[in-house]
Structure 1
Amino acid sequence: MTWEMGFVLLVVLVMMICLFKEVARPDIIVFVALIAFLAVGIITPEEAISGFSNEGMLTVAMLFVIAGVIQKSGLVERSVAALLGKGKSERRSLFRFLVPISGASAFLNNTPIVVTLTPIVREWCADHNISPSKFLIPLSYASILGGILTLMGTSTNLVVHGLLLERGMEGYSLFTLAQVSLPASLIGLVYLVTVGYRILPDYKPLNKRSGDERKQYLMEVVVENHFPAVNRTVEEAGLRNLEGVYLLAIARSKDKVCPVKNSTTIKAGDRLIFTGIISKIAELQDKKGLTIKTGTDVSLEQLENGHGRLVEVVVSHQSSLLHRKIKETQFRATFDAGVVAVHRNNERIESKIGDIELRAGDTLLLLTGADFQERAAQSKDFYVVTPLKKHPLLNKMSGWKAWTALLSLVAMIGLVTMNALSMFTAMSILVVFYLLCKIVTPDEAKQNVQFHVLLLIASAFGIGQALFKTGAAEWVARGLIRLSDPFGIFGALVLLYVLTALFTEMITNNAAAVLMFPIAVEAANRLGVEPMAFVILVTIGASASFLSPIGYQTNLIVYGPGGYRFKDYLKVGLPLSFLVMASTIWMVDWIWI
C-alpha cells in the first residue's frame, strides 16, 4: 500500500465517522475531505472541480426546480387525498395510497412528495380515527421503492449515471434500473400492506397528546397592578432570559399575544403563559407583583389566534439549526414562532427550551405568528408537517399552469424514453419552458434548488476520483473478493450490497453510492463480470434505506409526526431490506451473470 492509498483511506474513514456522528452538515464534511485531497496533491484542481460540471449533478439541479413546480401545482396531493378518501378499509386505503406514491416518486424528487403528503395523511388519519403511525413509514418506504425505478427517481441514480459517463462508460437509460428494481418494488409494496402493516406500531400522535398533557407544557403567572415593570417591555421587565422557563404567550382580556417579542409591553392583569421546566417557575416568586397560579385553564389550542397557530416541524439533515441551542438561533425573531416543546425519539425533552441543542429529526411544537408561513416557505431548516392555511403569497398555481407543467413533464419524459433527448437536455429545456411561461419565477426556481445537496454531490465526485486514482478502490475491491471468495460471484454481490446498504444508513445515500462505485467497478473487472451489474446493485442498495430514520430524508420527515421510535424502523424495515436485497441480487444474477 502506498502512502497516497493510506492517506485516501484514512480521510475517507474519518469522513464516514464524522458523517455518522453528524459533527457538521454532510456537504461541509465531504467538501472538507475533498479539500484535504487537493491540499496534498492527491487530485488536481481540475479533478476537484469536475463534479461541479458533471451532467448528473446538473440534472439533479434541474430536477429540484421541476419538483418544486409540480409540488406547487397541488396535483399530486389532490389525487392522493381523493384516493385515500375512497378506501373502504384501512389496508385498502393504504394500498390505493402507496401505488400512486411509488409511481410519482419514480419521476419526481420524493422528498417534496413526502413533505407535502405527511400533513394530508395525518389529517385523514385523524378524521378516520386511525393512528398515523400506520401510514407514515409506508409513505416514506413507498417513495423510496418508487425512486429506484427510473433514472430520475432519486439524485443517487443521477449521481451514479454521471459517474458512469465520467469514466467513459455507457450511462443509464430512463428505465435501465427498472428491469432489476421493478420486482423488488412490487414485493415491497405487497409487504407493506400485509405483514408490514401488522408490525407497524399504533401510536397516539403528538398533536393529540399535547392537549392531554398541557399541564406539562404550560404554567401561568398573573401580573398584578403593583408589578414594578407594568407598561414596560418584556426585556426591561427581565422576563426574557429566565432560567428554565420561556415566555411563550400573553393572555390579555380577549386578546392573545404570541409569540411574545422583546418589545412587547407588559400590562396589569396580563396572564403570562410560560413553557419549560415547571420546577423552575419558582424563580419568578422573587419578582414582586407576579402571582404564580398552581394550575392553568389555558390550553395550547386556546393560544391560537387569527394569525398564529400550533404547528409541528421536523428539523432537516441540512438545517443551519443543527448542533446549536435554540436561544442561539434567534428562532422567534427568524421564524416568527415560539418553541413550545421539543420531542426526540417520541419523548419530550425536559429542559429549558433555549438550552436544547437541536438534532436532525427533532420535532418542534411551535406557536406561530402571522409571518411564519412565508418565512418557513423560504427556509430549508425544517419540514412543516402540519396542514397550513393558504397564505396569500403562497397560493397554488392556476389550473392551466398546473396542467401545462404536468403535461410538459410527461412529454419530456416521453422524449427521454425514446432516446430523442438526454435527461439533462430534456430537463433543461423543461425548466426554460417553465420560466418562459411564467409557471415558475427565477426567484422560486432559485429557492427550489437545494445547493447543499449539489455541493455534497459535486464534492463526492472528487472523493471517488481519489479512490480510483490512488488505487485505493482496487485495494478495497481485492479485499472484498477475498472475503467472498468461498461463495463466488454471488457472495461478492451479497457483500457489495450489504456494505452499500450499511453505508447508506450510517452516512448519506449519495455519499454511499460515490464511495462504493469505484469499488464495484474494480471488483467487477477483477471477477471478469460486466461492471454494469455491480454498479446497478450499488445504485439500488444506496437508495434502499429502510433501517433507520437518519439514513434517508423521507424517513426523517415522518419520524416525529408518526411518533416513531428508532426500533420501529428496524422492526418494519429489516424484513423489507432482506426482500429488496434478495430480489435485486437475483435479478442482477439472472440478467448479467
Structure 2
Amino acid sequence: MRRTLRDVDFRRRCGAVVVGLWRRQGRLDQELVTIRLQAGDVLVLRSEPEALGRVAADPAFLMLVPFQGQPRLPRTGPVAAAITVATVLAAGVGAPLELATLAGAAATVLAGCLAAGQAYRAIDPRLYGLLAGWLGTALAGLSPFAVLLGLYATVALVTEFMSDAATTALLGPVALALAQGLGHPPEPYLITVAVAAVTTFLTPMAHLLIYGPGGCRFGDFARVGTPLTALVTVLVALIAPRLWPA
C-alpha cells in the first residue's frame, strides 16, 4: 500500500488497465497513475479475460463482481462439431439415443467445450420434476429395495460435488415425487436422501481437517470410502422400508 500504480507497474504485472478509482469519499478524478493506493480502494479494470483471471487469483485483490472465468476459446468449435457429428452417427447406426446423447454431453464437458457449471445452469429446473414423474413409471416393476439402492447411489455421487444442503434441496423433491409415483410412503425415500447427502466418504472435500495433518492422499478416501459407501447404501435400503412399510 501507499504505492502508485506506476510504482507497482500494474499494467505490465496484471495485464489490466485501471479506468477508475473510488475511495471512501468518492471517485478520484486526478491522474490515476499518481494516486497512492490505500487499503479499501475500489479499482475499475479493463482487460482481457485471461488477465482478469490473474487479478482474481491475486490475494491482494478482492473481486466485487465475481469473475466467471475465461470463455471457451474458438478452437473448441471444431471439437464440439465433431462430437455432435459423432453423436448423430452413433444414434444413426443403432446405438440407443439416450446413451449416445449422454455420451456426447459428457464428451463436450470433458473436451473443454463447455464448463460443467455452464451445463448445470443451462438445465431447466422444471426438467427435474418431469424426470421424477417418469421415474415412477420406469421403476414400477422394481422392489423398494432396488429403487432405494439407486436413489442412494445417485445422491451419494451428487453430494461429492455439492454441499449436503444443496443436494438435499435439489433431490429431496425428486425423491418425494418418485415415492408418490410408485405409490410408496415418502419417508424411506426422504430419509435415504438425507442420509446419503451427508455420507461423503469418496473424496476428502468434507474431511479437510484430517486431509493435510493426517498425511492422507486423495486415493485413500476412494479406497476406504467406496466399500463404506456400498455398505451404508445397502443398510439404508434394507432398514428404511422396514421402519416405514408401505
TM-score of the superposed pair, with normalisation by structure 1: 0.21
TM-score of the superposed pair, with normalisation by structure 2: 0.48
